[in-house]
Amino acid sequence: MIQPQPKNLFSYRKFWAERFGTAEELPMTRAEMDALGWDSCDIILVTGDAYIDHPSFGMAVVGRLLEAQGFRVGILAQPDWNDPSSFTELGKPNLFFGVTAGNMDSLVNHYTSDRKIRSDDAYTPDGVAGQRPDRAVIVYSQLIRRVFANASIVIGGIEASLRRIAHYDYWSDEIRRSVLVDSQADILLYGNAERALVELAHRLAANERIEQITDIRGTAYMIDHIPSDWSVINSTRIDKPGMIEQIASPYQEASKACQDQADAETEIKIDFKLKPSQLERANTVIKIPSFEQVSNSKPLYAHTSRVFHLETNPGNARALVQRHGRRYVWLNPPPIPLETEELDQVFELPYSRRPHSSYGEARIPAWEMIRHSVNIMRGCFGGCTFCSITEHEGRIIQSRSQQSVLREIETIRDSDPAFRGHISDVGGPTANMYRMQCKSKQIEQSCRRLSCVYPVICKNLNADHQPLIDLYRKARALPGIKRIHVASGLRYDLAVLSPEYIEELVTHHVGGYLKIAPEHSEDAPLSKMMKPGMSSYYRFKQLFDKFSRQAGKEQYLIPYFISAHPGTSDTDMLNLALWLKQNDFRPDQVQAFLPTPLALATAMYYSEKNPLHKVNHRSEKVKVVKKPAQRKLHKAFLRYHDPQNWPLIREALKNMGRADLIGNGKHQLVPAWQPGAGKTANNQPARHKKRQQVKPAAFARNQRRRNRGRQG
């Protein structure tokens, strides 16, 4: 069903407080409110990040967007959760508190993939760790409820998005309830929530009660019972061995939707007593397994994950409902993506593009990294199972116009005294998906594929790189611009479709190194990641090297790999290590798989089932790496060149029957000797006992210095 065109984001009649004008920076204290002439805030935003008024930070986008609608918006950035009075700094808002953990999930921000506490926080002044609580959305919301019992609380951002239904929580190793239940919030906005946020604010300003606002896309809320005028598809069970009865299922073959528009409507087994009118998607809700059910059944958890992901296309998604105890969490279908004109206006709101003045000269690493970068698009249709972009931003690409991007570059050039002519990045979640979309709007709105590029690139995808090439050329031609860098990761399987794009990129926009993410060399883990095989990588590398030589530049690819991903065996990691050595790669930055809530790979990790296919008790069992010792081994294989890992690798090779890979030959992985055990780090016999004791320590220290970075 083709959805009706939503209301333009900037077509609402502005709230009366527009008369106060635009604030140079949104207030964080009562004194700043007084200076603006405000007696109160209409909306107060609470965030786990420092307040940085830049369009790369979600809270700044939300604040400026609401300000543009005429509302008075205050910011409580990193309030002290040990002191409830810190939430009263700006008083009680007239409309609602908006709560988010920040640009990152608070637990991802706080812990490594090995559950070790991180020593810093890039979103905090001077990188100081510990300035936000674990599960920040829950903690902030409950404290607000304590000090303002009757206040309306709206939660959103990535932490709320990824926890909108019952989910596996890696850090507690258990299934947790929807964050909506534990936070005691009134409503949850998920994904890029501009449409939902603006509509909700105006309806509350028109004196609608928040508990009565239940028809906004991209929202979740609690209900006592399912409305009687909705058609319910019961998907709370899966077939078991020996069962004969047919269980209603919302599964639909994804490929059919793109191949044949006639097959794009619901392919489900239903109760034939239902009237045809009740089968309309707009009036159908899928009842997924309850919190209690998924807590007690891993196959049901995987089944729920599959159903959830098949209902993420705004063009055909149906509402979902999940019981939690005596009540239900109701999820409306995802929001309609912004049009280019709307996205341009969002990114061109009057941001100061700097941290709040109260931070003084403090360094905020996240801001320094993106200070001179420009975001040109949103979303990603890659569908990588370990990535959270799908669950948060969706698969439909939302692109800005070239004119808007160029205006932002000029703004950076003309307004930032620290700018020296270098734009650090022109990109987004994926650098080279700009302006890419389905060739047919009808097909796009009916498609149920989990990826547009896996297992092969969809024939209906418009993968033209020319708009991006044109943008690059216009950007670097701007007066005062010396260099435009592309630092965002790119899909090389798409890039190889356009050698002209690769030539443009390599010749003008690579600063010696380019990051790409093959993630693995072996087909078994790649199939669970929904990533392409290595043939695309080899083709891309061939073109990259060719055009680098033609440009007279010495440039290198920096490949990223994941260890311990579901579907990966010890043999797979060994083969990857051999591939790395054969290709002379010695990764300094190692990424171990981190199961984030709602991701398909997380469902594999927890359930050991594969939600990429229909799930039942007899379906495919996925190999999962959970034991710390095996996770450590997989990580060690990626860093086969580090002497500290050699003892572990040697032991593993012997256990795997591959002792032939121990030795000094080119075809072997690790040497039989160990620094400090008869030979020094330069492979020479130790001549003096004292030197033998000191040299390995220095070797290890130098290794740590070289390897210091974003490990884990």
Residue 290 and residue 217 in one domain = no
Give the lowest-confidence range in 109-123, 243-257, 499-513, 666-680.
243-257
Q: Mean pLDDT in the chain?
A: 89
Residue 257 has pLDDT above 90, yes or no: no
Helix, strand, coil percentages, rounded to 5, for the chain: 35, 15, 50
Q: Assess if residue 333 is contained within a domain.
A: no
SS3 579: helix
Q: Which residues are paired to 98 by β-bridges?
A: 45, 154
Q: What is the pLDDT of residues 156-202, one digit of tens each?
A: 999 999 999 999 999 999 999 999 999 999 999 999 999 999 999 99
Q: Assess if residue 191 is contained within a domain.
A: yes
Residue 54 and residue 165 in one domain = yes
Q: Assess if residue 408 is contained within a domain.
A: no
Q: Assess if residue 88 is contained within a domain.
A: yes
Mean pLDDT of 111-132: 96
Residue 70 and residue 132 in one domain = yes
Q: What is the pLDDT of residues 124-153, one digit of tens each?
A: 999 999 999 999 999 999 999 999 999 999
The contacts found for 248-256 with CB under 8 angstroms, 24 or more apart, are 249/614, 250/286, 250/307, 250/310, 250/311, 250/318, 251/306, 251/307, 251/310, 251/614, 252/310, 252/448, 254/310, 254/447, 254/448, 254/449, 254/450, 255/449
Residue 263 and residue 170 in one domain = no
Would you state the pLDDT for residue 258?
52
Mean pLDDT of 577-600: 93
Task: Give the domain range for residue 275.
Answer: 231-324
Residue 113 and residue 249 in one domain = no
Residue 390 binned pLDDT confidence (cut-offs 50, 70, 90): confident
Q: Quote the CA–CA distance of 305 and 598 in Å, as a whole number.
A: 7
Would you state the pLDDT for residue 232?
94
Residue 241 and residue 202 in one domain = no
DSSP state of 276: G
Among residues 302, 324, 346, the one where a domain terminates is 324
Q: What is the pLDDT of residues 326-349, one digit of tens each?
A: 999 999 999 999 999 999 999 999
Residue 710 has pLDDT above 60, yes or no: no
Mean pLDDT of 59-72: 98
Residue 692 has pLDDT above 80, yes or no: no
Instruction: Compute how many other C-beta atoms are within 10 angstroms of the C-beta atom of residue 682.
Output: 8
Q: Assess if residue 463 is contained within a domain.
A: no
Vertex 712, ends 139 and 595: CA angle to 5°?
A: 55
Residue 459 binned pLDDT confidence (cut-offs 50, 70, 90): very high
Q: Which residues contact 503 (CB under 8 A, 6 or more apart)?
A: 543, 547, 550
Residue 615 has pLDDT above 50, yes or no: yes
Residue 66 and residue 45 in one domain = yes
Residue 309 and residue 219 in one domain = no
Residue 174 and residue 249 in one domain = no
Q: Quote the CA–CA distance of 392 and 598 in Å, as a whole number.
A: 10
Tokens coding 578: 């051999």
Burial class (CB in 10 A: 0-12, 13-18, 19+), 91: middle
Would you state the pLDDT for residue 678?
52
Percent of the chain with pLDDT over 90: 84
Q: Quote the CA–CA distance of 341 and 370 in Å, as a whole number.
A: 24
Q: Assess if residue 62 is contained within a domain.
A: yes
Would you state the pLDDT for residue 270?
28
Would you state the pLDDT for residue 677?
58
Residue 122 has pLDDT above 90, yes or no: yes
Residue 152 and residue 58 in one domain = yes
Burial class (CB in 10 A: 0-12, 13-18, 19+), 673: middle
The count of domains in the chain is: 3
Would you state the pLDDT for residue 239?
52
Q: Assess if residue 147 is contained within a domain.
A: yes
Would you state the pLDDT for residue 272?
28
Q: Assess if residue 277 is contained within a domain.
A: yes
Residue 561 has pLDDT above 50, yes or no: yes
Residue 130 and residue 28 in one domain = yes
DSSP state of 232: E
Among residues 206, 223, 240, the one where a domain terminates is 223
